[in-house]
Amino acid sequence: MHELSIVSSIVDTVTESLAAYPGARVKEVRLRVGALAAVVEDSLRFCYGVATLGTPLAGSDLVVTKLPVVLHCQACGKDGEIESVQSFRCPRCGEPSMDVRQGRELEIEAIEIDDAEVDA
Ligand SMILES: [Zn+2]
């Protein structure tokens, strides 16, 4: 499953980032997902719940920011968001374009952590 391998790499990346914060727990992971990343959000959430069990990410929230596809149009020289990934045309002048400037992202935007309480 595509989403499971994505989540596994998120868990790896976050766990590595936490190396500098021993005992820290993750509260929230924010992802930026482009419309062309071919990610099913429900599936991603399901996999996240399963794959984070027993890791410092267990119980944390996954916040997904979806990014629309932005094309650069040669004809009018502008960048514009397209309405549908079925039609790669400039929203201003209607010229076809395959010059994708945004929409393929699949990246961690931020990780929010809570330092673990230390027993005296
Ligand atoms: Zn145009």
Distance CA 1, CA 93 (A): 39
Q: Is residue 7 classed as helix, strand or coil in its secondary structure? A: helix
Q: What average pLDDT does range 18-35 have in this prediction?
A: 91
Ligand 1 centroid – CA 98 distance (Å)? 12
pTM of the shown model? 0.83
Ligand 1 centroid – CA 72 distance (Å)? 8
**pLDDT-based confidence at residue 116 (cuts at 50, 70, 90):** low
pLDDT at 118: 55
Q: What average pLDDT does range 95-112 have in this prediction?
A: 96
Q: Is residue 15 classed as helix, strand or coil in its secondary structure? A: helix
Domains of the chain: 2-114 (3.30.2320.80)
Ligand 1 centroid – CA 39 distance (Å)? 28
Mean pLDDT of the chain: 92
Ligand 1 centroid – CA 91 distance (Å)? 7
Ligand 1 centroid – CA 36 distance (Å)? 20
